[in-house]
Structure 1
Amino acid sequence: MARVGAELRRQDFVEATVKVIAEYGVANATTRRIAAAADCPLATLHYVFHTKDELFYAVYESLFNLPHQALEHVAAGSTAADSAAEMLRHLITWFTAHPELAKAQTELFYWTLRNNPEMASKIFAVASEAIERELERAIGSQLDPAFLQSTSRLLIQLVDGLIIAWAAHKDSARLKAETETACQALKLFVANR
């Protein structure tokens, strides 16, 4: 049997953790269950990730990067308001195409908020900074730094709220209509800076 590098195993464990959390919830995401889902020995999981918090943070890092890749496709050069709304649309589209990841991210964040508030704060800060960078890339210097930060935080709050509502009602047509309402609100917020 060929040896698999630690980095590849790391990704296997991250993907398995997402699946386990989406199916069983964070409270039932045991390291045994995660190792089994990754088809790896439990000892390998503990070798690659020394603590469960370390594993969960690696899941967060991967979850940050995936939806933000969708933001690279938001065209730069339109108005700041249009760009912000388009970013919101792209994020919702990405999450609806990956419901398992959306569910795992939400579950994991609330679990972390209860069990490790410092980590939850760090995770929110990293997410805000990533959205801020993408907004800045798409709209350039159209917004001053303080307003750019406010806009990125509002965008995150809208995405989170829409995804949580969609998880509850499971109606894609309703999500699309609610997303357009949120996009209009975001556009008004940015346009009236």
Structure 2
Amino acid sequence: MARIGAEERRQDFIEATIKVIAEHGIANATTRRIATAADSPLASLHYVFHTKDELFYAVYESLINMPQQSLQHAPAGATAGESVAEMLRQLVKWFTAHPELATTQFELFFWNLRNNPDMAAKIYAVSIEATQQAIHKVIGAALDQTALTTVSRLLINLFDGLLLAWSAHGDRERLESETETACHAVKLLVSSY
């Protein structure tokens, strides 16, 4: 039997957790079920992640990092506002192509909000920071720090709202229309700075 490296095993557990949460909900995401989904012994899961909170945070971190590649493609010659609007458009597109990831992200956040509010605050802060870095990477110093923070928070709020609404109504055309409206609002806000 081939040995699997710790980092590869860690990623297997993260992917299995995403799958289990998306299929069964967080309440039914037992470590035993996650280990089975990862095709690994339960002891290995507990060796890699000492607590369930540690595992859930690693999953959330992974969910923040996954779509980052889609945020680095600004249209050539675009204004800062157009670039940030495109980032929102790409985020929505990426998550709608991976609906299980959106479901898992919402489940984890609301579970943390109820059970571990400090972790929920940390997750939100990490999301803001990742968004600020992505925006800065695309538009450079077009926004000062206060404006960058404001735009990052709005981007996250719009993104979360769009995906939550889409989870409820399931209408792709409506989501695309609402996304374009949100992109227009972001573009106007960034342009106002």
Per-residue deviation, residues 148-169 of structure 1 (Å, max 9, x unmatched): 1100010000000000001001
**Which residue of structure 1 lines up, in the alignment, with residue 142 of structure 2?**
142
Tell me the amino acid that sits aligned with residue 172 of structure 2.
S
When normalised by structure 1's length, the TM-score is 0.97
1:77-88 superposed matches below 5 A: 78-88=78-88
2:27 matches 1:38: no
Give the aligned residue type for 1:42: L
Unaligned runs of 5+ in 2: none
Residues 99-140 of structure 1, C-alpha deviations (whole Å, 9 max, x = no match): 111110111011011111111111111111111111111111
Name the CA distance, whole Å, in 1 between partners of 2:75 and 2:10: 33
Does the 8 A contact of 1:20 with 1:29 survive in 2?
A: yes
1:76 to partner: Cα distance: 6.6
| Compared CA separation, residues 76 and 105, structure 1 to 2 (3 A) | farther
RMSD in angstroms over aligned alpha carbons?
1.1
**In 2, Cα distance between the equivalents of 1:154 and 1:76?**
24
In structure 2, give the amino acid aligned to 1:52.
Answer: K
Q: Which residue of 1 aligns with 2:191?
A: 191
Shift of 1:77: 5.2
Equivalent pairs counted in the alignment come to: 193
Q: Distance in 2 between matches of 1:75 and 1:148?
A: 20
Q: Is 2:163 the partner of 1:163?
A: yes
- In structure 1, C-alpha distance between the alignment counterparts of 2:74 and 2:187, rounded to whole Å: 15
TM-score, with length taken from structure 2? 0.97
Work out the CA distance in 2 between the residues paired with 1:108 and 1:144.
32
- Aligned mates of 2:86, 2:73 — CA distance in 1: 10
Residue 61 of structure 1 and its aligned partner are, at CA, apart by: 1.3
CA distance in 2, matches of 1:76, 1:68: 19
Question: Within 5 Å, which residues of 2 pair with 1:68-147?
Answer: 68-75=68-75, 78-147=78-147
Name the % identity.
66
Other-structure match for 1:180: 180
Within 2, Cα distance between the matches of 1:180 and 1:92? 11
Q: Is 2:15 the counterpart of 1:15?
A: yes
Give the C-alpha shift of residue 142 in structure 1. 1.3
Cross-structure match for 1:24: 24
